[in-house]
Amino acid sequence: MRWSDYYLPTLKENPREAEAQSHKLMIRAGLIRKLAAGTYSYLPFGLKALNNVESIIRQAMSEKGALEVFLPALHPLEIWQKTGRDVTLIDDVGYSFIDRHGNKMVLGPTHEEIITALIQGEVKSYKQMPLILYQIQSKFRDEPRPRFGVIRSKEFIMKDAYSFDVDEKSLNESYKKMQEAYCQIMDKCGLDYIMVEADPGMMGGKESAEFMVISDSGEDMIVHCFGCGYAASLEAAPCVGGELKKKDKVLKIEVIDTPGKSTVEDVARALKIPEANLIKTLIYKADDSFVAVLMRGDKRINETKLSRVLNAQHLKLANDSEIEDVTGGPVGFSGPVKLKGVKIIADFLVEHMSNAVTGANKADKHFTNVNINKDFKVNLFCDLRYIDVDDVCPKCHKKIEIKRTMEVGHIFKLGTKYTDSLNAKFLDENGKEHLIIMGCYGIGVNRVLAAIIELNHDDRGIVWPQEIAPFKAQILLLDESKEAVSIADDLYGELSFEGFDVLYDDRNAQAGVKFKDADLIGIPLQIIIGSRGLKKGNIEIKYRGSNKKDEIAIKNAASKLKKILTM
């Protein structure tokens, strides 16, 4: 492709709204353009890179026996109502509307319900399974805070695969196939990734794993063990017990004045004590019931863990009026002492505290010297907090680190969550009816592309891995002489005829502009035709990844370049 015939608008400066390096470079190098918050157009250069990612995905899926389908993006809301995700997902981030016929419709944020409805009337016998179907399609989610370009957007492209099996053993085999395929995809895309234990979240099921790429632009955090290599998302990582320290002598509870001190930080500062000496009491509404949750003052509550403990479909912090109704006091002064009518659960760390400070359920009042069993009772102790760097590995008890990451893939063992709701059953060899067992496997195609750029760039621009590069080589014509033009034209024609995808920069522009653009767009091999090399009968080649340079004779340049490009 000649640059003069191509649509590849590059920018010298970083766009103001872009934060992540991938976002900056995707705009500057002419891959995407913003239409509105969270929505982007792909230009020809970006689409070629995106198509290369999709080709790698399709190849890996095909090798594992998965079959491609294409499902509707427009869904009747009633299908979502059958699984209850009209409330847990559509009401939260979905796009819904009523069409001209009065039908309630949804723009698909994901397709578990739709694929299950498809196979429900088709897959009736154990002989039809195992079966893995997948698609690559746009999804729609009304993200409250779209950011980082295509990393967190409202319209995005996903590869979602679904397995259908007769039993847990068969599901495990399908899950392993997809796990292997994902590793193959990540490797071929040149991604340095970590597979971590994860919480299934809104998808449901008992087991899941995320494929994470270490990135400063990521929105997720993982825990990683220096010793055994254990890795998990912060939502899923268990904390190992509590601090088994000797308790202090139990003192008499007292009420103290704390005017205007409603936060852990303010109370600890006023009393000149560590935040770890406070018990914070959080009032949650779990479905239709209220619960008081106790945490050590210096720790963060993990709502994913709390939701699992309570088996709650809907979980949220109580509002100001609800807190006052439950505790009798205003927000910021809640405590467990004399708290009635609600279940009290506490993180394991609270069990080992003594002479703690809590809210007194009265404005501007706190209790000191509060002790469990003497001053209040706890219904349940459990793991409710986020793991942090002060903790140890839950597997080997060695030192851990916390890393910022970007999720690019997620696999789930769904079990019968969706087949039960949508009545998808099969007959076994004895004619007995069973629910089909499902797995789900997603890859964020846009995110993979962004992650590749996050991991493969320098201060001059993108450095594409060979498999993803929109073009495999770029010819830079720096001399307008007839000889130079003839050599460049011949070389471009011969390489193109042999099937090599080459970008030919034939623009009437200064050498400095062409070099800067070449480094910005990051094509792996730069073929430089200029007066300096021509005087010696050579052309220069530069490898974008290493910046290594070579010179090859013009007379056999085509054959040598073919060998380089096929390596």
pLDDT for position 80: 96
Among 57, 47, 34, residue whose Cα is nearest residue 1: 47
Residue 60 DSSP class = H
Q: Do the strands 279-286 and 289-296 form a parallel or antiparallel pair, or are they unpaired? A: antiparallel
SS3 state of residue 71 = coil
Query: Helix count (H) and strand count (E) of the chain?
Result: 17, 31
Among 64, 61, 49, 65, residue whose Cα is nearest residue 190: 49
What are the backbone dihedrals phi and psi of residue 511, each rounded to the nearest 5 degrees, phi first?
-60, -40
CB 198 within 8 A of CB 370: no
What are the backbone dihedrals phi and psi of residue 81, each rounded to the nearest 5 degrees, phi first?
-65, -30
CB 217 within 8 A of CB 424: no
Distances, alpha carbon 271 to alpha carbons 255, 267, 276, 371, in Å: 13, 6, 12, 18
C-beta atoms surrounding 338 within 10 Å? 12
Element (H, E) at 113: helix 112-120
* Bridge partners (DSSP) listed for residue 274: none
Question: What's the predicted TM-score (pTM) here?
Answer: 0.86
- 542 vs 3: CA distance, rounded Å: 19
- 237 vs 379: CA distance, rounded Å: 23
Q: In this structure, what token pair is assigned to residue 172?
A: 């495990």
The single residue listed with the structure tokens 């929109």 is 470
- Domains in the chain and their CATH numbers? 49-237+402-453 (3.30.930.10), 254-382 (3.90.960.10), 473-565 (3.40.50.800)
Among 327, 323, 329, residue whose Cα is nearest residue 258: 329
pLDDT for position 241: 63
CB 451 within 8 A of CB 22: yes
Name the CA radius of gyration of the chain, rounded.
29
Where would I find the beta strands (DSSP E) of 90-192?
95-98, 104-107, 131-140, 155-165
pLDDT for position 216: 83
Element (H, E) at 440: strand 437-444
SS3 state of residue 278 = strand
**Ordered DSSP codes for 462-514:** E---TTT-SSSEEEEE---SHHHHHHHHHHHHHHHHTT--EEEE--S--HHHH
CB 339 within 8 A of CB 327: yes
- 319 vs 81: CA distance, rounded Å: 27
CB 342 within 8 A of CB 291: yes
The single residue listed with the structure tokens 């320098």 is 458
- 106 vs 328: CA distance, rounded Å: 42
- 198 vs 419: CA distance, rounded Å: 22
In the sheet that holds 74-76, the strands lie side by side as 74-76, 104-107, 95-98
In the sheet that holds 538-543, the strands lie side by side as 502-505, 473-477, 525-529, 538-543, 549-553
pLDDT for position 122: 94
- 266 vs 264: CA distance, rounded Å: 6
- 175 vs 523: CA distance, rounded Å: 36
Element (H, E) at 77: helix 77-83
SS3 state of residue 442 = strand
Q: Tens place of pLDDT for every residue, the chain, 567 residues?
A: 999 999 999 999 999 888 899 999 999 999 999 999 999 999 999 999 999 999 999 999 999 999 999 999 999 999 999 999 999 899 989 999 999 999 999 999 999 999 999 999 899 999 999 999 999 999 999 998 898 999 999 999 999 999 999 999 999 999 999 999 999 999 999 999 999 988 766 555 678 899 999 888 888 899 999 889 899 988 889 998 655 566 678 899 999 999 999 999 999 999 999 999 999 999 999 999 999 999 999 999 999 999 989 988 889 999 999 999 999 999 999 999 999 999 999 999 999 899 999 999 999 999 999 999 999 999 999 999 999 998 999 999 999 999 999 999 999 999 999 999 999 999 999 999 999 999 999 999 999 999 999 999 999 999 999 999 999 999 999 988 999 999 999 999 999 999 999 999 999 999 999 999 999 999 999 999 998 889 899 999 999 988 799 999 998 899 999 999 987
CB 358 within 8 A of CB 344: no
CB 135 within 8 A of CB 69: yes
